[in-house]
Structure 1
Amino acid sequence: MKLRLLAGVSALVAVAGLSACSSGSDDTESAGGGKTAIDVWLMRDSVSAAFQKDFEKGFEADHPDIDVRIQIQEWDGIGEKVTAALASNDAPDVIETGNTQVAQFAQSGGLLDLSDKVAELGGKDWLKGLAEPGAYEGKQYGIPYYAANRVVIYRKDLFAQAGVDATAIKTRDQWIAATKKLNKGSQQGIYLPGQNWYTYAGFVWDEGGDLAVESGGTWKGALDSPQALRATAFYKRLQALGKGPKDSDEAQPPQAEVMAKGKVAQVISTPGGANVVAQNNPALKGKLGFFPIPGKTADTPGAVFTGGSDLVIPTVARHQDAAFTFVKELTGDTWQRKLAAAMSYVPNKTTLAGAVAADPGASAMAVGAAVGHATPNTPGWAAVEAKNPIKDYLTAVLTGGDPEKEGVKASDVITSAMKSGS
């Protein structure tokens, strides 16, 4: 799964209503037999070849008048490719897009407003971290597809040696106490790189804050808010219980490789990180477990950044009725359960969390996803990630900078970036 944002989407075609666009749009193509052929772009690793085959077979059996043509797209360069498609007269009928990308495409008028379809699609149960970024200015353009988020990956053997029961860790205070017990000698209680800003964002949301806030149509950075400062204090305490670098993120060096090489009791990662650890150190196979990031209180898990995808229909799509049928099926309960089992993703509805109950990593994700968030829902946020002042802010604080002063500086950069990127 890639968690990406796009920069600079040019002005595209104006939005048209579903009924207005579709009245003559489902003309048959060369699929044969009077079928309507629809083109669908799904992203690499969104589905396996086996799932794709099963879905196409099942969908076309239930909808014999529609021929589905799925094309797997690569993440690299997809922003420019989608932008060009939306501006053309030959766009695919359905496109998978990162959940945080929807606002930029919607702002430019390239996506179909599906607000009147939310109830039909079971929108009341959607994960907020997928549904909220799929909306823009009060209208729903992106339909939640699947989610993935960070959990704690831990060494079962090291926890047992320290007498720590991972299942009993439900609160931040319990997490800190357990990590202190695990942090001894050459063993790191946790490996937390200083610039792991997605994890930090979760702590900000736990405190009731956000990375940026909107007031009167203007977005401003909010790392100097009381809520963000409380989150910073907790992040600093947790990060100090290991030897993670203060000036780099989880990719430099790859934290899974660090965990594989040494006595690291915990990392914060998507569950797939455990596979990388075991690949680098086969002796750890079967010794890794998962639990949700703890919250401030035992009754609410820690907030997480919800990554994943939404499905959108371009305004210029020629077969919007058939496209909606495809979206309804793939995001419906039956195929969501099958997708979760096949791909270890979190289904798009809180009511479907049981679909991953047998998968330790995915079930831990599902707990966090129920209270997940996305980055500020504004097209200007892409410019913030390009500059990434949050990483610089965390490094500054972890190396002795005053949190409030550094927070003001970082917030100013965020504000300026959002203005330039809108």
Structure 2
Amino acid sequence: MKRKLIAAIGVATVLTAVAACGGSGSGDSKAKSTAGAKSSGTADFKGKTLNVWLMSGSNPPGWTKDITAAFQAKYPGATLKITVQQWDGIQQKLTTALSESTPPDVIEVGNTQTPYYAATGGLKDLTSIKSAIGGDDWVPALNGSAVYDGKQFAAPWYFASRVVVYNKKIWSAAGITATPKTQDELFQDLAKIQAKGTKDAFYLPGQDWYGFDGFLLDAGADLVKKDGDKYTANLDTPQAAAAINLYKKVNSFGTAPKDKDEATPQQSDVFAKGDVGAFLGLGWEANGAITKNPALKDQVGFFPFPGKTADKTASVFVGGSNLAITQGSKNPELAQDFLTMAMSDQFEGEFAKESGAVPNKASLNTNLQGNAYGEAASAAAANGGTTPLIPAWGSVENPPNPISTLFMTGVLQGESPSAAAKKADTEIDKRLSQQ
């Protein structure tokens, strides 16, 4: 099954789009609350607590402080409680929370997971309020993962692509004066860095699944294929073999574990030590490294993972998150108003500006100007895609993810791509058939 490309993001207009309101306080004129009298009377919400779950890395301090202050100013009798969750194990945690009688009111859901939670009935149908929360101007390609069975079950929030995060000092010491434009140039540069004594010229853990998905996309590998009215696994292909062999080659330029993901240990902490040439990561990871080691502040640079030829960067997985109201929310009107606030030009623009993430409207892309990660990520995202947007895919990614544990680690530890793929395909098919 071909996975939708995200070329429609509008990243080509990042530096030329019409200037957007990135913090004027006026908000989006189209994103007015439709909660009616209940929203205008704060007494209706006095004593209420709106529980919002956000993921680690999705709560930049400035944005979090400002949206909390704006919420409390509008609803002085209510409380906004933002709880930061870790990505590791979040699928099971969300599944459990959504089945309980008092789930969180608003949740951040990965764009690849939204169809799964929508299909299982955990998310509130937002179709009737899409316009009210600012949906008329959302980029259609970015909104695709928030729609299931023709209905709007979430609001597209932000999007990001992994880029090469590198230590300028280490690259310069190896005599490298320009970032590589092709994969051959990249490997030549990494060899130079290793020759200078840097063991981790490129730190790439063996189970960085979303990073690897970009390699699969670039190789033209389809993770699943349609078989009648169902989907079946499709990893045992020449395209997937090419992708994992390229991944294995990059992994060989460092000491990253072959059987762990990018959070074990957290790769930003590894990079923070100052002796790593580069890693494949996101803006918040680079910021985390700088926070841990401020000496890196002026040494961190970014560039898209290069393609085979200089005219096109490699494909990347365009990850991101949607915001959704849970079906069991006890405060649906208050939750809607929070969504309206978060989706407004003011706060969507501020989030993009602070985090470097691609916003949900093309008109807000100018907020990425001057953000080195944002500019690199937006360039990479022009050639990006997603995992299969089918409900059953959520089960495939539940830990232990067979793609990372059986296929990726299997090949990196010496199995042939075909043998490892067959094992992974068997498990993937089992999970797909359970839906």
Taking structure 2 as the reference length, the TM-score comes to 0.74
1:139-165 deviations in whole A, cap 9, x for unaligned?
331211123442211111222233324
Aligned with 1:405 (options 419, 425, 431):
419
The corresponding residue for 1:230 is 242
Aligned with 1:390 (options 403, 416, 423):
403
* Partner Cα separation in structure 2 for residue 368 and residue 57 of structure 1: 34
Q: Does 1:28 align with 2:26?
A: no
The corresponding residue for 1:182 is 193
Match of 1:255, as an amino acid? Q
* Partner Cα separation in structure 2 for residue 299 and residue 328 of structure 1: 40
Q: Say which structure, 1 or 2, has more relative contact order (CA 8 Å, 6+ apart).
A: 2
* Partner Cα separation in structure 2 for residue 43 and residue 316 of structure 1: 17
How far off is 1:203 after superposition? Answer: 0.7
SS where residue 70 of structure 1 aligns? strand
1:289-339 deviations in whole A, cap 9, x for unaligned?
111222344454333333432122345667767755643442243321112
Q: For 1:306-345, what aligned pairs fall within 5 Å after superposition?
A: 306-315=318-327, 324=336, 326-345=338-357
Q: How well do the aligned residues superpose, as a CA RMSD in angstroms?
A: 3.8
Q: Does 1:75 align with 2:89?
A: no
SS where residue 206 of structure 2 aligns? coil
1:38-90 deviations in whole A, cap 9, x for unaligned?
946242654456535544666799xx799875321242687678667766787
* Partner Cα separation in structure 1 for residue 119 and residue 293 of structure 2: 46
Change (3 A) 1:72 1:160: same
How much identity, in percent, do the aligned residues show?
35
Change (3 A) 1:304 1:123: farther
Change (3 A) 1:107 1:193: same
Aligned length: 393
SS where residue 294 of structure 1 aligns? coil
SS where residue 204 of structure 1 aligns? helix
How far off is 1:220 after superposition? Answer: 1.9
1:365-389 deviations in whole A, cap 9, x for unaligned?
3333444433333333343331222
SS where residue 100 of structure 1 aligns? coil
Q: For 1:262-301, what aligned pairs fall within 5 Å after superposition?
A: 263-278=275-290, 281=293, 283-301=295-313
* Partner Cα separation in structure 2 for residue 122 and residue 153 of structure 1: 35
Which stretch has the larger CA shift, 341-350 or 115-124?
115-124
Q: Which residues of structure 2 form unaligned runs of 5+?
A: 1-33
Change (3 A) 1:178 1:399: same
On the 8 A contact 1:148/1:369 being kept in 2, the answer is yes
SS where residue 320 of structure 2 aligns? strand
Which stretch has the larger CA shift, 368-377 or 202-211?
368-377
How far off is 1:109 after superposition? Answer: 2.8
Match of 2:192, as an amino acid? K
Change (3 A) 1:166 1:200: farther
1:191-245 deviations in whole A, cap 9, x for unaligned?
2222222211111012222333444332222221232122122212222233333
* Partner Cα separation in structure 1 for residue 319 and residue 153 of structure 2: 17
How far off is 1:253 after superposition? Answer: 3.9
How far off is 1:415 after superposition? Answer: 1.3
Taking structure 1 as the reference length, the TM-score comes to 0.76
The corresponding residue for 2:5 is none
Aligned with 1:102 (options 114, 127, 138):
114
* Partner Cα separation in structure 1 for residue 309 and residue 149 of structure 2: 33
* Partner Cα separation in structure 2 for residue 32 and residue 323 of structure 1: 14
Change (3 A) 1:352 1:216: farther
* Partner Cα separation in structure 1 for residue 240 and residue 363 of structure 2: 31
1:234-287 deviations in whole A, cap 9, x for unaligned?
212222233333333333444334444474311112223334444555544422
SS where residue 316 of structure 2 aligns? coil
Aligned with 1:141 (options 112, 129, 153):
153
Q: For 1:86-235, what aligned pairs fall within 5 Å after superposition?
A: 94-115=106-127, 121-122=135-136, 125=139, 128=142, 131-167=143-179, 169-187=180-198, 188-235=200-247
On the 8 A contact 1:149/1:365 being kept in 2, the answer is yes
Which stretch has the larger CA shift, 177-186 or 73-82?
73-82
Q: Which residues of structure 1 form unaligned runs of 5+?
A: 1-23
On the 8 A contact 2:103/2:326 being kept in 1, the answer is yes
* Partner Cα separation in structure 2 for residue 177 and residue 293 of structure 1: 14
Match of 2:378, as an amino acid? A
The corresponding residue for 1:414 is 428
On the 8 A contact 2:55/2:84 being kept in 1, the answer is yes
